[in-house]
């Protein structure tokens, strides 16, 4: 794997700015890959799936370091609102969940007491802080079903209410009928009904 500074520079270029979340994401991805035995993630992309639990800066950094992407189905977004990611080696089935500790914010002063600006202090501290202070690490088991694996669509069904095609087992069955998630009530949008 490339060194931290090179990966951070690539992440910043992709993300658009340097921030504490970028430092956390790069370090989290490096640690996750090391723990599951993947040395060159962008060259071993078919072995790796990463679940990110937040839609913040760290997720961009994780994607850049590992090469995982939503479009390849190797990056999975689970909207938990937690600065965490789980790394799964598909060959060995070994997986670790890594989350950033809240105490690392307080510890930033210990690792960069000479910097008064809080974001700058965090940028410096998160670079040098031991992994044990920055992260909580736990080995986990991830039950990844065949329909969630990268590759071509294995199943398509049509929603009985709106006619949309639903792929990869994401449909909802209700009273023996097949619905897409929005028609089943699990939606982030509501259609606008405009007067004619």
- Angstrom distance (rounded) from CA 119 to CA 4: 19
Residue 194: pLDDT band (50, 70, 90) is confident
Contact 101, 109 (CB under 8 A): no
Q: What percent of the chain has pLDDT over 70?
A: 100
Residue 195: pLDDT band (50, 70, 90) is confident
**Residue 173 CB coordination number (10 Å):** 10
Q: Would you state the pLDDT for residue 191?
A: 81
Mean pLDDT of the chain: 95
What is the pTM for the complete model shown? 0.92
- Angstrom distance (rounded) from CA 164 to CA 67: 31
> What value, to the nearest 5°, has the Cα angle with vertex 27 and ends 26 and 28?
90
**Which domains are delineated in the chain?**
4-148 (3.30.1330.130), 152-196 (no CATH)
Going by their DSSP bridges, the two strands 75-77 and 48-52 should be labelled as: parallel
Residue 65: pLDDT band (50, 70, 90) is very high
Cα-based torsion angle of the residue sequence 88, 91, 94, 97 in order, rounded to the nearest 10 degrees: 0
């Amino acid at each position: 794997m490339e060194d931290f500074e090179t990966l951070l520079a690539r992440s910043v270029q992709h993300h658009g700015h340097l921030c504490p979340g970028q430092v956390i994401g790069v370090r989290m991805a490096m640690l996750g890959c090391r723990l599951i035995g993947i040395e060159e993630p962008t060259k071993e992309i078919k072995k790796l799936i990463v679940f990110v639990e937040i839609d913040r800066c760290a997720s961009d950094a994780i994607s850049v370091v590992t090469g995982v992407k939503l479009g390849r189905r190797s990056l999975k977004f689970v909207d938990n609102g937690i600065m965490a990611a789980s790394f799964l080696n598909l060959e060995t089935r070994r997986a670790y969940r890594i989350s950033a500790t809240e105490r690392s914010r307080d510890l930033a002063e210990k690792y960069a007491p000479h910097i008064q600006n809080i974001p700058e202090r965090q940028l410096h501290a998160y670079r040098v802080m031991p992994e044990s202070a920055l992260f909580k690490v736990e080995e986990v088991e991830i039950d990844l079903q065949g329909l969630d694996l990268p590759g071509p669509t294995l199943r398509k069904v049509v929603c009985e209410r709106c006619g949309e095609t639903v792929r990869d087992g994401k449909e909802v069955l209700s009273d023996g009928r097949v619905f897409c998630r929005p028609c089943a009530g699990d939606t982030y949008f509501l259609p606008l009904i405009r007067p004619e």
